[in-house]
Structure 1
């Protein structure tokens, strides 16, 4: 089975933001990142400014630069925030997967993706514009695949590492369809997500049957 992943190993690799030590500072940083997410989605990375981020978050420009020395540091922190949320969600599912039905696991995977849609919109606004985000993207990809592999191997004991890794890659790609479904009208969105859940359930059942047949 894949070795456990730790979300703390996800770090901003280039322009490091200053981590606040006090609760008031942590709340201020959270407000800055929330405002920055809106600004980046609305304007795109290139047209967004630190001045607008400061104004939208109600932060003095000097305080903003104290926590984030550059706009790139703000963007990288948002990318890491999304990565950590995803890794934490997969780790929670991995802890529960051996007690869940495969139908329940399929539901939970789609639900997790839906919960992260808002953060993903921010990521899409940043990744293509930020050359410095490449290292974060590589870390995130590796952690996501490892996390999904853990979920699959907990849900299907005996699933070989190589197959778990291949399934994880494909499953993460399939789950990207949740964002596309969200753009449809409510009735169509409901049907698309229902089909996705059934697709994942059938896939998981097939994989479990294959493992059982091999072990027999």
Structure 2
């Protein structure tokens, strides 16, 4: 039985031994692959264990339910994004809106091997809304921070609105490249062009130039 319906807020076990840490890595990698392929809702604990080549008891030993697995993945994805957004914010002031647009739209494509299940978790329909909201909120906040470095006079609320549009554009491009979204050979370049025009129009009035 998949424990997705469990409401209990039990914590994951943090292994102390190297073998245990390795097993957790394998389980989370399997979970990330499955959620990227099938979505959060369709992925079961039994499938995660099977993909990792582990017994179901081993999975439950470390993660009491699927929500705990999702929590662990979100924490890992956020750590990756924090590193990337920090680096981006350092250079955003030197980038034109069009150049920043190019960097941002490619970010999910570049990071995909490390955050495979991020999009699936951001779209998850789960009783524990904080899983989805935390993933979305952190992504939007990081993008908005970079936008405000590039355009310092941009209002925080507007920056978040623009960041939400940027995030969805990033997800569409990744879907086009991985063939998960309807596309044609030239469509990704057209999306990139549209994204540059959009950010240039929205950010230029708020830049200190």
User: What TM-score do you get using the length of structure 2 for normalisation?
Assistant: 0.74
- Map 1:61-76 onto structure 2 (within 5 A): 61-76=56-71
1:89 — aligned with what? 84
**2: distance between equivalents of 1:193 and 1:131?**
35
Out of 121, 124, 129, the position equivalent to 1:127 is 124
* Greater helix fraction, Structure 1 or Structure 2: 1
After superposition, give the CA deviation of every residue in 1:57-115 in whole Å (9 maximum; x if it has no partner).
13344432221122332233234434443444333322221233433322211221213
**2: distance between equivalents of 1:153 and 1:208?**
9
**1: distance between equivalents of 2:194 and 2:49?**
44
After superposition, give the CA deviation of every residue in 1:125-169 in whole Å (9 maximum; x if it has no partner).
x712x322x112222232222211111011123223233222222
2:184 — aligned with what? 188
1:206 — aligned with what? 201
Query: Aligned-pair distance for 1:40?
Result: 4.5
- Contact conserved, 2:35 with 2:117, CA < 8 A, in 1? no
After superposition, give the CA deviation of every residue in 1:18-47 in whole Å (9 maximum; x if it has no partner).
223344333221100112234445666566
- Secondary structure at 1:176's aligned position in 2? helix
2:126 corresponds to 1:162:
no
Count of aligned positions: 198
**1: distance between equivalents of 2:55 and 2:169?**
42
Distance 1:173 1:185, change over 3 A: closer
2:4 — aligned with what? none
Query: Which structure has more RCO (C-alpha within 8 Å, separation ≥ 6)?
Result: 1
2:19 — aligned with what? 24
- Contact conserved, 1:35 with 1:53, CA < 8 A, in 2? yes
Query: Aligned-pair distance for 1:119?
Result: 2.2
- Gaps (5+ residues) in structure 1? 1-12
- Contact conserved, 1:82 with 1:123, CA < 8 A, in 2? no
- Secondary structure at 1:188's aligned position in 2? coil
**1: distance between equivalents of 2:167 and 2:41?**
29
- Contact conserved, 1:94 with 1:150, CA < 8 A, in 2? yes
RMSD, matched Cα: 3.3
- Contact conserved, 1:106 with 1:201, CA < 8 A, in 2? yes
After superposition, give the CA deviation of every residue in 1:148-206 in whole Å (9 maximum; x if it has no partner).
111101112322323322222222233232144232799824x2222222223223322
Distance 1:99 1:25, change over 3 A: farther
1:54 — aligned with what? 49
**1: distance between equivalents of 2:138 and 2:42?**
31
